[in-house]
Structure 1
């Protein structure tokens, strides 16, 4: 199967003319907003792509990254190999900036690890002077509002600068004024609950030291935590599959290691093993898990809805419903690979319009609903689908997808290209969205920072 080129021109019906006028940037030379930067929250691949696009547009910006290094979340799962090759992982604007400085794209048909993405692409991009000089590390954004306005005040709101409240690693707190805000902070630090109800798992406090985030490095950095133990991976996606296969290899080296896969549904529908999958590495991952289950290397507990966790001596008990009965699963360590959700706490004073199901922007949600779409069927989209009632505020990247696990890095790059074109007043470019993808989509792992289920 070949590549599919998707080009969508956003048509504006006559009845939406007023909406279009509302979306058009209104920055005049004597307006204070024109003197202020755009603030970017998060310095992962998508945040840095936004920065690169703003550099090309000649728009001033400031970027804040809570971690001590760029792409802190990607580094956390850096040992994991993505499914997509290099040619789908690099933002076009970022590539132009880098190539002007002698950078060369790695083997375009090879799929790198997360660590390689950081070392060979993200870190060099952050060192570009026009970006690095505007980047502050170890600075957490703790709130976004309008200067002197909470979310209830309307008069003069559009022309009032944003106030982005930041906290430095030393604990100092200050407000930074901005003409617009691009939230590219991702979702990796806000995983879904282990509980099937979505609420925090009952008893989580007493087992927290035995629960690890998605994609631990079971053969390297985190080996001691798993070797010779009963390990349970909770989740039905590709991050779960990666960890399961790592644990199977660990069990070969450390025979007392036992591996259990616990899923809520009757089957792990998100893990592809189809021979028709255009991304061979993804299909191999699915086949590897299927084989390990069939061979008895992985014990599968399907239809298990977790309701409580508790400690019993040195072990952990997961209590749940299965086939209409209350059952208890005993283990030593639990991997939470249940996916991610957006952290919206910092946006309480911003006027958002989110879908009530997936917590994505209202216009974007129908295009990404995981009940309908996979990675390969999500249409390209831009500023219009990402617009909120708060003029000049955008959520982009994995966080824009809310709870949907169908995010593509390439889609995120097109998002920020369109948004920055809108900020520049280039409505023709902002309204025309283009994307070239493999026919079956470009998927990696269910990651929450610029990786998504699909990269």
Structure 2
């Protein structure tokens, strides 16, 4: 799809760099961070397009039944809020804690409607390169526009862009059950008996009722799954629940409790601690899954020294990882350990930081070797589970300011976050520490 050249229109403050752009900025992903990027670019009157693989906030739709950790005040971007309020939209109670459904229907979908004509849904980005230049070509590279290939149904489309903001997140690219991090054929073969999301147990009750279910993972996604299964067990008492962790002690997975400044998250740990005391959940820790075996009696997990099972169903909540497959022809770098944007690696290391103690960062830290290409949101954190939506909002505010030529605003990064305990969960796109 050939988008029109912008003819150097006055897209922002006259004389600034964005007025020299021939093509719009392409935002990849219409989730919370991608839509916030659009709001900030619109504030500067910078032309843009939004490309979304599915529907608006499609990733959030998969966990609509889950309540976030943080209240509305941390989940609404400032530029987006101002844009919506101009239409008569009213901000929900800032102290109320929304579900994924409320986040999507009361905020993200109304916000997406402000970008009519610039939002393209059901278009999956399959490759990005430079016009007439693969990764190896350096001559006049910076002057060439980005070339984006998308797949829509069976058709392939192309778009040109002067800059790219990749806000596709990590949700939907789950880590395996195996502790070594490799998806073995034996695990993939059992896909019908494994879910890597936080299942809606109420809707899928017959899948889990009176079954032997193992939940693998130590984060808040796993705890959410466990709490739903315990509720199901009240009506289906033959349901057997096993929690499998790699922690030395289960207490390490229970979070900050009453000391957690995000009370909803601390409450999760307190709830699961109480349930563990009554024996509703069997705990196996530390246990390192090496492979998954399909036996006649059910699914068996083989560890380093022993086997456990059989199980009828597995819920694998071991986190997510970024997908860089469509970046292959771009010049980009990631940290070799976390797979985060390199400058962020030390700032977000979950061994030293909770999501509330991550320092503010913006365009300067997110720069890639390919000028005007940015990886933002949970994807910028790679495999680190310490992402918070408010952090992503500040990232894209800074980037939009830089693209618009507002250097002072781009460098003036500020962030006020609640201090928290250890932050581990699998929700992506919206942020692990919600």
Q: Give the shorter-chain TM-score range.
A: over 0.9
Q: Which stretches of structure 1, 4 residues or more, deviate above 6 A after TM superposition?
A: 441-444
Partner of 2:238: 256
SS at match of 1:363: helix
Partner of 2:73: 87
Unmatched runs of 5 consecutive residues or more in structure 2:
1-14
Partner of 1:172: 155
Q: CA separation in 2, counterparts of 1:237 and 1:194?
A: 13
1:88 and 1:442 in contact (8 A); partners too:
no
Matches within 5 A, 1:291-440: 291-313=274-296, 315-321=298-304, 325-440=305-420
Q: Supply the RMSD in Å over aligned alpha carbons.
A: 1.7
Structure with higher strand content = 1
Partner of 2:4: none
1:446 and 1:454 in contact (8 A); partners too:
no
Partner of 1:59: 46
1:194 and 1:338 in contact (8 A); partners too:
yes
Matches within 5 A, 1:79-228: 79-128=65-114, 131-169=115-153, 171-219=154-202, 221-228=203-210
SS at match of 2:160: strand
Matches within 5 A, 1:257-276: 257-268=239-250, 269-276=252-259
2:29 and 2:168 in contact (8 A); partners too:
yes
The size of the alignment, in residue pairs, is: 419
Q: CA separation in 2, counterparts of 1:330 and 1:401?
A: 36
Q: CA separation in 1, counterparts of 2:175 and 2:380?
A: 16
The reply on whether 1:454 has 2:430 as its aligned counterpart is no
Q: 1:314 to 1:346 in 2, by over 3 A?
A: farther
Match 1:41 to one of 17, 21, 28: 28
The reply on whether 1:279 has 2:266 as its aligned counterpart is no
State the 1:123 CA deviation: 0.6
The reply on whether 1:246 has 2:228 as its aligned counterpart is yes
Q: 1:124 to 1:244 in 2, by over 3 A?
A: same
Q: CA separation in 2, counterparts of 1:185 and 1:288?
A: 33
Q: Deviations over 1:140-177 (max 9, x none)?
A: 000111111111111111111000111112x1112211
Q: 1:206 to 1:314 in 2, by over 3 A?
A: farther
SS at match of 2:124: strand
State the 1:353 CA deviation: 1.8
1:380 and 1:434 in contact (8 A); partners too:
yes
Q: 1:80 to 1:186 in 2, by over 3 A?
A: same
State the 1:101 CA deviation: 0.6
State the 1:273 CA deviation: 4.4
Q: Normalising to structure 1: TM-score of the pair?
A: 0.89
Match 1:229 to one of 203, 207, 211: 211
Q: Normalising to structure 2: TM-score of the pair?
A: 0.93
Q: CA separation in 1, counterparts of 2:276 and 2:48?
A: 50
1:83 and 1:111 in contact (8 A); partners too:
yes
1:282 and 1:444 in contact (8 A); partners too:
no
2:354 and 2:423 in contact (8 A); partners too:
no
SS at match of 1:434: coil
SS at match of 1:195: coil
Q: 1:441 to 1:234 in 2, by over 3 A?
A: closer
